Structure 1
Amino acid sequence: METLNYKVLESTGYNGYILKDAPVKVMQFGEGNFLRAFVDYFFDIANEKAGYNGKVKLVQPIANFPQMADWINEQEGLYTLYLRGSEKGRKVDAKRVISCVHDCVCPYSEGKWDEVLALARSEDLEIVVSNTTEAGIAYTQGDSQFDQVPPNSFPAKLTRVLYERYTAFKGAADKGLVILSCELIDNNGKELQKCCNNYAKDWNLNAAFIDWMNSANTFCSTLVDRIVPGRIRDPKEMAALEEANGYTDKALDVGEVFGVWVIEGPDGLEDKLPFKKAGVNVMVVPDVTPYKKRKVRILNGAHTGFVLGAYLAGFDIVRDCMHNDTIRGFMNKMLHEEVIPTLPLDKKDLEEFASAVQDRFNNPFINHELMSISLNSTSKWKARNMPSFLTYIEEQKKLPKCLTMSLAAYIAFYSNDIQERTADGLICKRPAGNTYKIQDDAWALDFYYAHKDDTAAQLVKAVLTNTQMWDQDLTKIEGLEAAVLADLELIRTEGAEAAYKSCL
């Protein structure tokens, strides 16, 4: 079977939208599954719906996987994207051939960094996008040199790109770029800008350039939200798709249907970007913080809030939990009655986002294991659930039933019939009889192992007074110690599902 390219695609009779020729308007640091299923999808829709007429040049930020550049270039930038999931209870499996990608360059190959710098000098270039992992936005003094080919870190590469552009256009104020950082760290755009300034100073670049970098360019922090499994793992399913498509596709990608991109930027940026006109779920806001809270407390908080008890109740994957009235009802009550009232956004928007969570968790194409979600649950509960928990108590002057129960479920999960402390985990036994391995910070695992012979009351007191866990003594919250103890004993005697049901 032939490999996907424009000629092969045409021969298959594909009748979807395709843009073969257009100027490169976007430089994208990152060629992985996420950006291609998320950012490049939005640019592809913008080409079709908003007449953006722009291509994206992908730049590999690190040199560890040169095959991807080869695959993308062999396919002339084309790849098949499947967006799969559930919308309003209906199964969705949508296919689109993405044609916004021009090519992919590995700047570590001989002569290829020059290609990147040539694009920096292009009149057509408007936007830089990046997703170089959480570790990608980092400054290390002396790590890179101005004339290194290429500089080591992503911020150093970007600084060099911006200097090339500044020089080519003699510092013209209208030649700055919009820089959209998608890394999963707080204030990603601001942190990237700080790193670029540090490299500019290290390299003794002139003050006029530094001023241009900070005033003519727009560094945007963004929030990204789409689950992207990426490759299809089942060889039989992959073979069946390629047979149906009529071509081989080494860059095929898979993401969930849901996707939202929140970009923090100034007035006028929304009209400068092509997304609003295209009607896609991309918004420009003055402050991304409330939307990050929405995602962390509703989407991530839902996971951490119900999965530990659900695992003890005998469930293994998220989707099956959504088919159980008690677990689903517990999650929805926690979100709609205890979490949403604590958030500073439009309540209708929050309700719609929470309703979409149930659809996302019910995705028929993703087997999201509860044990994978359980990793590092101590810090996750603190970051995702505790802010809602404390705000609810402060505002409502009472304990939230479901969030209190989820704290008890966390304790139950970490203490259920502890068997041994291994080098990388804590082995516990599930009520059904099989063992499971808890993975968390060593100090947290040591704590639970040290308290394995405690009574329920002793354990609850020890957990709630552990300031390393919570940065405070939670027993000072009126009634909490007794409530968590009662919930823990209910989980241990009646089972987690019955305990969850008691909250409804």
Structure 2
Amino acid sequence: MQLNRTTANVEKRPIKVLQFGEGNFLRAFIDWMIHEMNEKADFNAGVAVVQPIPQGLGELLSSQDGLYHLYLNGIEKGQLINKKMLVDCIQSVVNPYEDYNAYLQLAEEEELKFVFSNTTEAGITYKAGDAKDKVQDSFPAKLTAFLNHRFEHFKGDASKGLIILPCELIDKNGVKLKEIILKYAADWGLSDDFKTWLDSACTFYNTLVDRIVPGYPKDRIKEIHEELGFEDQLVVEGEQFHLMVMEGDQSIKEVLPFEKAGLNIIVTDNQAPYRTRKVRILNGAHTLMVPVGLLAGIPTVRENIEDATVGQFVNDALTQEIIPSLPAAEGLTEFKDDVLDRFRNPFIQHYLKSISLNSFPKFKTRVLPSIVSYMEKEQKAPAYLSKSFASLIKLYDPKNKVGFEAQDNADVVELLGTVWEEYRSEYFSLDELVKKVLSYDTLWEADLSVNTLLVEEVSKSLREIESTAELV
């Protein structure tokens, strides 16, 4: 049986949430939270999903009327837990590249109150050339046009301002998003009244989100369909653990009933300690593992952690280089051990390829800060993190032997393709290839090639990978 609102008995809800992104994480985290608040706290919130890029899951999600099943698997208080639920909060899906007017009309929804997004680290960026009156390329530009349309439609009514909670994993994501919106407002000559409304009626929170979401359980989907009685093409799996840290005014508790729903959400005036350990240890471990594991032919997180060689590599990188690079704090080793236990969750298959989207921007956000801090403290390059860096450069070699096709910013993919082609043409050496990649300041926001110790260590690792194919 096909899954839709005709075959499943679910109620219609008013649109209170605009969501940029339709991927696994948002559906297993934000939409799940909204589902829980609807069920346990009478939130009665519907979600309108905006597909943020031309290619996406919008059409498939629309074909199921926004419905999908979520499986949460893992260990909770020593007990094996397997929960499943039909998540029904998504009411509509809009692809602005196909119907821009329908996208703007969402801004006219009377009860709209919240905006969530997850467009990866590459999403919250300013792109010159995005114009006001046609579909924009960047997420911040789309949101600027949306907010301005809402401001104009409701004639500057302060009660129609929105609470904006970006989930992209960059520091001060709310602050950064607002800065870019104001830049577009200046570019487009939007009114001072709009800028005042944005500042006084809209609230931007910095956020940190944490749940491991492996996504679509392709290995057992036939079994799941038989169990559900539906042909659900958007089943998503996640772990039991979840955490969301919001940095901003405590007043959000008055409009978002997460406490009543029993959700693990922290509202604080300083998320830095939570963010630093999570991004550098949990996300850092994922990101440094991806190229090493894929080049080793090991497809999932759990299998890599259980592999004697790669598992030891990841543990040593965390213990000997990432944790020492962090500000002194209690509980870092315990947090690391908990993270590795979460990676070993036997109930979820988290494929490295699903983590590999935009690997270079992720490396910049999640691993590079540990490299920089380590070198400042130790006055030498970290061997394990440099090995991961070299493995990433090799993974983006178009002629890698593992069949990996990079999904990243077009300019990053083009750069790596070019330097590997020129290296094979003997235009320059492997050391110079590394310098070319490390000097790409458009990505790194710095010329990393001036750090000769880092260049030497990454080059050394890349020579080993090229000559022996041994990664660790």
What is the TM-score normalised by the length of structure 2? 0.73
In structure 2, list runs of 5 or more residues that go unmatched: 407-412, 440-446
Going from structure 1 to structure 2, the CA distance change for 1:366 and 1:444 (only over 3 Å counts) comes to: farther
2:44 corresponds to 1:44: no
For 1:338 and 1:449, locate their aligned partners in 2 and report how far apart those are by CA, in whole Å.
33
2:254 corresponds to 1:294: no
Going from structure 1 to structure 2, the CA distance change for 1:391 and 1:367 (only over 3 Å counts) comes to: closer
2:398 corresponds to 1:425: yes
Residue 298 of structure 1 aligns to a residue whose secondary structure is: helix
Residue 334 of structure 2 aligns to a residue whose secondary structure is: helix
Going from structure 1 to structure 2, the CA distance change for 1:90 and 1:8 (only over 3 Å counts) comes to: same
What is the TM-score normalised by the length of structure 1? 0.69
Superposition deviation, residue 173 in structure 1: 3.4
Question: Does the 8 Å contact 1:339/1:388 carry over to 2?
Answer: yes
Q: Give the one of 179, 183, 188 matched to 1:194.
A: 179
Question: Does the 8 Å contact 1:465/1:473 carry over to 2?
Answer: no
Q: Aligned residue for 1:53?
A: 44
Q: Aligned residue for 2:443?
A: none
Question: Does the 8 Å contact 2:68/2:86 carry over to 1?
Answer: yes
Can you list the C-alpha shifts for 1:418-460, whole angstroms capped at 9, x where unaligned? xxxx9953557xxxxx999999825764797699999xxxx99
Q: Give the one of 126, 130, 149 matched to 2:117.
A: 130
Superposition deviation, residue 329 in structure 1: 4.6
Q: Give the one of 195, 200, 203 matched to 1:218.
A: 203
Can you list the C-alpha shifts for 1:349-403, whole angstroms capped at 9, x where unaligned? 77335512442255553253589869968x87776445435534655x5879xx4
Question: Does the 8 Å contact 1:34/1:230 carry over to 2?
Answer: yes
For 2:245 and 2:124, locate their aligned partners in 1 and report how far apart those are by CA, in whole Å.
20
Going from structure 1 to structure 2, the CA distance change for 1:452 and 1:284 (only over 3 Å counts) comes to: farther
**Match of 2:72, as an amino acid?**
L
2:108 corresponds to 1:118: yes
Question: Does the 8 Å contact 2:160/2:201 carry over to 1?
Answer: yes
Question: Does the 8 Å contact 2:144/2:184 carry over to 1?
Answer: yes
> Cα RMSD over matched residues?
5.0
Q: Aligned residue for 2:90?
A: 101
Going from structure 1 to structure 2, the CA distance change for 1:467 and 1:35 (only over 3 Å counts) comes to: closer
Going from structure 1 to structure 2, the CA distance change for 1:335 and 1:87 (only over 3 Å counts) comes to: farther
2:348 corresponds to 1:365: yes
Question: Does the 8 Å contact 1:69/1:106 carry over to 2?
Answer: no
Aligned length: 455
Question: Does the 8 Å contact 1:304/1:380 carry over to 2?
Answer: yes
Larger of the two Rg values belongs to structure: 1
**More displaced 10-residue stretch of structure 1: 85-94 or 256-265:** 85-94
2:391 corresponds to 1:391: no
Superposition deviation, residue 52 in structure 1: 2.4
Q: Aligned residue for 1:246?
A: 229
Superposition deviation, residue 97 in structure 1: 1.1
* 1:140-179 matches, cutoff 5 A: 140-141=128-129, 143-145=131-133, 154-167=139-152, 169-179=154-164
**Match of 1:323, as an amino acid?**
E
Question: Does the 8 Å contact 1:61/1:132 carry over to 2?
Answer: yes
For 2:44 and 2:287, locate their aligned partners in 1 and report how far apart those are by CA, in whole Å.
42
Superposition deviation, residue 245 in structure 1: 1.6
For 1:112 and 1:374, locate their aligned partners in 2 and report how far apart those are by CA, in whole Å.
29
* 1:270-285 matches, cutoff 5 A: 270-285=253-268
For 2:354 and 2:129, locate their aligned partners in 1 and report how far apart those are by CA, in whole Å.
39
Residue 274 of structure 1 aligns to a residue whose secondary structure is: coil
Q: Aligned residue for 1:419?
A: none
Question: Does the 8 Å contact 1:85/1:91 carry over to 2?
Answer: yes
**Match of 2:216, as an amino acid?**
R
Question: Does the 8 Å contact 1:339/1:392 carry over to 2?
Answer: yes
Q: Aligned residue for 2:409?
A: none
